[in-house]
Structure 1
Amino acid sequence: MNMKLVRRIVVASVFCCCYTLGQAHASESSLPRVSSAYAQTKYPIVLVHGLTGTSKYFGLLDYWWQIPGDLRANGATVYVANVAAFNSNEQSGEELLKQIGSVLAATGAAKVNLIGHSQGGTTSRYAAAVKPQWVASVTTIGTPHAGTVVADMVNDIVNMTPQALKNLVVDGSSLFGSLVSLFAGNLQSQDPLAALHALTTVGAADFNRRYPSAGLPASCSSQSGAVSEVRSGNTQLLYSWTGNQPFTNFLDVGDSMMLVGSAIIKGAGGGANDGTVSVCSARFGRELGGYGWNHLDGANQLFGLRGLFSADPVVTIRTQANRLKTAGL
């Protein structure tokens, strides 16, 4: 290969990487302010993170990269939940309910719109099932509603691991989860094994049995479930979307893990996926599309790196806020 061409590629790659890292340290206040009412929903929006997540990592890095600021710039009232990084849907859902109660008290609103990424979607479903009068809509992004075979494989490995090593991994995960929640100002108890079980196909099936939803499709071939459901006289609108490309940007360090996850899913006959969750498992309610994203891209991670011509997650969520506004929510 021509060495001049190689040097140009290297220089361009370093420039892109440095630019991205520079953007990572930019505050949301530096984002362009649209000053519109495009995303001004009737009810506040609560963003709910997934496994290993928090509202802001160590006070520096937003889980929902640039998304809350953009929504606020377009008129939305936005809160970012901070539930356990590692716990069951039920325990995380109970903590989410406490935070929703605080949002309602602070704003005087009657309900909220929940938008959950990954396990944040099932956490949101739990809250919607337990307190339907508090939830106007549930939108899930890359959520393993039917579980994921990646979690199945990890669970099998954990079960074969010597107890001493298993305890070390569990304690390390719990420590990490406690630290990130402490930095976010809301220390949470952690249960990595319960979180792992919730993401397995068996755990998801059990959760769906105990907390059924009309939004769940009967099968992959049925494409999507009901677009709304009524719980105790309260109508909730249901939406979902997901990614379908495990590798999207060679500068993103998370993409290599997504390739491994995708191989596991395809090896088990799971078909198209985002590197962690199959498209089939992510279907819920009104399916709004499959994007050229991997699992991390759904929350605009890491630092907004994604495929060159893929949809912008920030715009996608802003558009969803407008959709909720148009629906009177």
Structure 2
Amino acid sequence: MDFIDEIKAIGARASKLVDQLQTEEATKNALVMPFVNALGYNVFDPTEVVPEFTADVGVKKGEKVDYAIMKDGGAIMLFECKSVGTNLDSAHASQLYRYFSVTKARIGVLTNGIVYRFFSDLEEPNKMDSKPFLEISILNLEGALIPELKKLTKSHFDEDSIIETAGELKYTREIKRILADQLVKPDDEFVRFFASQVYAGRLTQKAREQFTEIVRRAFRHFINDQISDRLKSALEQGTERPPADDGQPAAPEQETRSDVTTTEEELEGYHIVRAILREVVEPSRIVPRDVKTYFGVLLDDNNRKPFCRLHFNTAQKYIGVFDNPKKEEERVPIDSLDDIYRLAERLKATPAFYEG
């Protein structure tokens, strides 16, 4: 089993255990130790992994951090662990901060067993940054972050290379967060910048309020257009791909795709479904398939493994749900896209039909 498969296996196990892990110690044993082991460090070898790592910090003697990853007798990575369910935004990481000043380690990890936040000292030497340069969830491991996580494994660990790319990762992450915030609620400075590019008049209070909504809407439309273009390209390529080989003949397509139009509502509905399903399925396996009469959401791009169908081409919109894998059991009427969330539990139950 390679590195990524090991991490995914830990994630699959974690999704079944989270309700049973009530303490920090249970979290460490069930999730954090296997994660450290997957990085290639032998948790049973004290020359590689030291639990309850102790060092004297100023006037405080004998303070401990949960794990220290060792190399050539020195610490290279420190782990501070919290119990599953702990909100890491408010978690106290005092040991981790203090140990940065008294060890040579330049990587600090704060985790609740599910989310792992990786810190360094990019802004001030020997002082851990307040914001991580990398954050991953073992329940939803983003493909783009896999190469960065792999750099932290024993066989690939190169501190200079890690620190070199850490700054770019950190600031890219922060910029994406800012853009996400602006997408929901553009602030005055953001609105003023765009308004100044297209509007020659004086930006009064009334004009600013008007442009706030215009900017928010334009931003969303731009992103949806980009997604739609990529989706259409994928669907066009999909017409040339052979059907998924699941040992049975593929179900026939109901319509040709040459005249299919993917709407903004369908895209928004798909992303809501994907957000719900990503709690139980790797997001890369949740694939859209648009045909003329409905917009399908499939497992592994396989027609025989539908999660649901979005019937948005009529005045009354419906979500087609599958309570067994062979038949669209029910079309549930919805009045708004938010109504999809009412079907969350039924949607999350669907993968069990296909994966035993």
Shorter-chain TM band: under 0.3
Larger relative CO (CA 8 A, sep 6+): 1 or 2? 1
Which protein is richer in helix relative to its size? 1
TM-score by length of 2: 0.24
Structure ID, larger Rg = 2
